[in-house]
Chain A
Amino acid sequence: MENRLLINLIPGETFLHKLTGKTKVRTFIILLVFIIMSFDMRLILPLFILSIIGLRSLKPNWKTIKYFFIVIGAVNLLNIVLFWVADPDIGAYWCGGGHTVLFSLTGRIYLTAETLWYLSVRFIKMITSFMVSLVFILSITPSEMAAGLYSIKVPYKICTIFSIAFRYIPDIGRDFNNIKVSLQTRGVELDPKKASLKSRLKQNVLILVPLIITSFDRVGNISNAMDLRGYGREKTRTYYSEHEELKADKVFKVIYTLLLLFCVYWIITQNIMPQTFKMWYPFA
C-alpha cells in the first residue's frame, strides 16, 4: 500500500516544489476552472503541453506514475468508445451540424469527422485535467495544502481536517497490518496462495471492523492532546510550512490573476452572448 502512495510529506527540491502552498493551491483552482469552462482545443492544448513540461520538471518516480497513466488512459478510452457507440452522430450537435462520414461499418455505427473531433477534444480535456491534478499532487505536501486552503478563506478547522487526515493515512496502513498479523496468529488464513478469493474477501471485512473501531477510539486521545495545546482558541491561524514569497511566487501571482480575469471574461462571453457553434471546429 505504501509504495503506491503519491503524496509526499517532505518538501521537494525542484522549482515547482519551492513555491508557497498559497500559490500552488490558487493556481490549481484557477486551472481547474479553466479546464472545466473550456471545451475548446485552442485553450486546452497549450495547457496540456504545459502540464507535460511541469510533470517533467518535478522529476517524479516514473515507475509509479506509469501505472496511473495506463489506468487513466484505458478508462478514458473505454468511456470515449462507449460515448461513440451510444450516439455516433454526437459531433454534429457540437460542431455546427456538419455530417462528414469518414467510414461506416453498418447503418448504425459510423464515424463522422465531427464526432472524431468532439471525442478527441473530450479525451484531451480529461487527460489534461488528470495531468494538472497529478502535477499538483506531486508538488504539494499536506501542510502546504492546508496553508493554501486557509489563504483562500477556507475556515481553518476544515484545513486542519485535511492535514490530520493525510497524517492519519500511514497510521491506517500500520493498524491494518497489525490487525492482519494478529488475525493470522489466531489461524485465519489470509495468504493469497492458500485461501480462495471469496474467503479472503470475507476475512478482509473481518479486519475492517476492528480497524474502524480503533480509528474512532483514537479520536478522544488526539482531540484531548490538541485541546491541551490550545487548538481552536483563536479565530485565525498561521502555518509553519508557509514560507516567505519568492520571486517566482510573485510571477505566478501575476499569471494566475490574468488567467482568472480571462476565465471570467470567457465564461461571461460564452454563456451570455448567443453562440452559433457550440465548439471551435477548424474544418467546418
Chain B
Amino acid sequence: MKKVLKTLLGVWNTKTVVAIAIGAALFGVLMNFGGIPVFTNTRLTTAMIVPVIVGSMFGPVPAFITCFVGNTIADLIGGWGFWFDWSVGNGVLGFIIGLLPFYGAKINEGIFKPVHAVIYAITCVVGNALAFGVITPLLTVAFYGGELTITFLQAFAGGLANTAVLVIIGIPILYALARRSARSTNLVMEEEKEE
C-alpha cells in the first residue's frame, strides 16, 4: 500500500518541481498557440504531449498537477477567463496517462513493450471518456448550471482530438524516451558486474 502511494505521488524533490513547472508552462503555451480548432472551445492540441512526458518520468500526481496548472496558465495567458471544470478534466486525464508504471511500463528503466503500448492506448481512450465525458460535464453543471448537450459535444470533440494526439504522437515519444533511459541503465549494470 505504501509503495503504491509512493508511485502515485512521485518523488517531490526540486527536480520534480522544476519539471512540472516547465511542463505546465509548455502545456499552457501549446494550448494557446499549438492547436488547430476543431469545435467551439476545443482544438486538436499538441499540448497533450506534455503529460505523456511528465507522467512517464515522474508519475501520475505530477502529471495531474502539470495539466491542472497548465490549463490554468493557458486560461491566464489566453485571457478568456478561468474554466476550472476543464482544468480538473485535463488534470484527471493527465493522472490517468501518468499511470504508466502501474502496468509495468517503467520508462525510467527503459521498459516499454508493445503490450504496454496497447494498454496505454486503451487508458488514453478510457481517460478521455472519464475526464471529458463524466468529470468535466458534472463540474460544468455544478458550476455554471444548465444544458449538457453542448458540453457533451465539446467534450466528445475534444476527447477524440486528444486521443488521436496521445496515441499517434505519444507512443513514438514513449518508445524514444524508453530507449534513451535504457542506454543509461545498461551502463549501471556493467559497472556492477565488474565489481
**Which residues of A does B touch, CB under 8 Å?**
1, 4-7, 32, 36, 39, 65, 68, 71-72, 75, 78-79, 82-83, 86-87, 90, 122, 125-126, 129-134, 137, 157-158, 160-162, 164-166, 168-169, 172-173, 201, 204-205, 208, 211-212, 215-216, 218-220, 222-223, 226-227, 231-232
- Complex CA gap A211/B26 in Å reads 9
Chain A neighbourhood of B103, CB < 8 A: none
A contact face: mostly helix, strand, loop, or mixed: helix
Min distance, Cβ A282 to any Cβ of chain B, angstroms: 19
CB neighbours of B149 from chain A (8 A): 82, 86-87
Q: Which residues of B contact A172 (CB under 8 A)?
A: 25-26, 29
- Contact pattern, B 2-28, Cβ under 8 Å of A = 1, otherwise 0: 000000000011110111111111101
Find A201's partner among B20, B36, B147 (CB 8 Å cutoff). Answer: B36
CA distance A165 to B28 in the complex (A): 9
> At the interface, yes or no: B171 with Cβ under 8 Å from chain A?
no
Do A219 and B15 touch across chains, with their CB atoms under 8 A apart?
yes
Chain B interface size, as a band, is 35 or more
B90 at the interface (CB under 8 A from A): no
How far does the alpha carbon of A32 sit from the alpha carbon of B149 in the complex, in Å? 24
Query: With A79-B40, A83-B150, A168-B21 in contact, do A68 and B79 touch (Cβ < 8 Å)?
Result: yes
Q: Which residues of chain A are within 8 angstroms of B79 by Cβ–Cβ distance?
A: 6, 65, 68, 134, 137
With contact pairs A79-B40, A158-B65 given, residues A216 and B81 touching in the complex (Cβ less than 8 Å)? no
Contact B77 A6 (CB under 8 A): yes
A215 engages B22 (CB within 8 Å) = yes
Please indicate the chain B residues that have their CB under 8 angstroms from the CB of A223 in the complex: 13-15, 17-19
Tell me, in angstroms, the Cα distance from A212 to B77 when the chains sit together: 19
Cross-interface CB contact of A169 among B23, B25, B82, cutoff 8 Å: B25
Q: By the criterion CB–CB under 8 Å, are B77 and A7 in contact?
A: yes
Residue of A nearest to B13 (CB): A232
Given A1-B33, A83-B146, decide whether A212 and B49 contact each other with a Cβ distance below 8 A.
Answer: yes
Can you name 8 A-B residue pairings with CB atoms under 8 Å? A5-B77, A6-B77, A87-B149, A131-B81, A132-B81, A165-B24, A215-B22, A222-B18
Bound Cα distance A231, B14 (Å): 7
- Asked whether A204 and B34 contact (CB < 8 A) given A86-B149, A162-B69, the answer is yes
Known contacts A126-B144, A161-B65, A169-B25: A212-B53 contact under CB 8 Å: yes
Whether a CB of chain A sits under 8 angstroms from the CB of B118 is no
Q: Is the CB of A169 within 8 A of B17?
A: no
The closest CB in chain A to the CB of B49 belongs to A212
B17 close to A157 (CB less than 8 A): yes
Known A165-B22, A169-B25, A216-B53; contact A137-B76, beta-carbon cutoff 8 A: yes
Known interface pairs A5-B77, A86-B149. Does A165 touch B21 (Cβ–Cβ under 8 Å)?
yes
Check B75–A133 contact: CB distance below 8 A.
Answer: yes
Residues of B within 8 A of A131 (CB): 81
Check A169 against B40 for contact (C-beta < 8 Å).
no
Other-chain residue from B14, B21, B82, B144 in contact with A232 (beta carbon distance below 8 A): B14
User: Which residues of B sit under 8 angstroms from A6, Cβ to Cβ?
Assistant: 76-77, 79
Q: Is the CB of A220 within 8 A of B53?
A: no
Q: Are A164 and B22 in contact (CB under 8 A)?
A: yes
Instruction: State in angstroms the CA–CA spacing of A219 and B146 once bound together.
Output: 43
Q: Which residues of B contact A161 (CB under 8 A)?
A: 17, 20-21, 24, 65, 69
Rank and list the top 9 A-B pairs by shortest CB-CB distance, nearest first: A164-B21, A130-B81, A133-B81, A168-B25, A165-B25, A223-B15, A223-B14, A223-B18, A165-B24
Contact A219 B33 (CB under 8 A): no
Q: Chain A's nearest CB lies how many Å from the CB of B17?
A: 5
Tell whether, in the assembled complex, residue A216 and residue B40 are in contact, meaning their CB atoms are under 8 Å apart: no
CB <8 Å contact, B73 and A218: no
Complexed CA–CA distance, A152 and B150 (Å): 34
A22 to B181, CA, bound (A): 43
Question: In chain A, what residue has the closest Cβ to B26?
Answer: A215
Cα of A211 to Cα of B70 in the assembled complex, Å: 17
Contact indicator A68/B22 (Cβ below 8 Å):
no
Residue in B closest to A169 when the chains form the complex, CB atoms: B25
